[in-house]
Amino acid sequence: MFLKYASSGISSPLKSVSLGLHNICDEMEANCEDWDKLEQFQKMRGSCDAAMLIVDDLLAYDKIENGITNLDKKHFNPWSFLRESIRPFHFTVR
């Protein structure tokens, strides 16, 4: 139960930050003069998106654990999944 409330409390502000970062990046990409600053905002956007996915997964896990939702089988490309999983760390390696 704690997991549900903690994740819900984090989810809303995190989504607001993500939306703001997406808007900032879109505006900067349209007319950017400082490419280093744009890259920093893109890194923040990627990290924020990764954090949102984790919080959403925690909420989904809580629903599954409480029997509120069921899982359906779905085929996916594991390489694509792996690429998306390590993408946030790509910037930190540089």
Residue 74: what pLDDT?
A: 82
Rounded to the nearest angstrom, the gap between the alpha carbon of residue 73 and the centroid of all alpha carbons in its chain is: 23
**Predicted TM-score (pTM) above 0.75:** no
- pLDDT, one tens digit per residue, over 47-74 is 898 888 888 888 887 777 777 776 678 8
Residue 1: what pLDDT?
A: 64
Residue 13: what pLDDT?
A: 86
Rounded to the nearest angstrom, the gap between the alpha carbon of residue 13 and the centroid of all alpha carbons in its chain is: 13
Q: Which amino acid is located at 30 in the chain?
A: A
**Model confidence at 30: pLDDT above 60:** yes
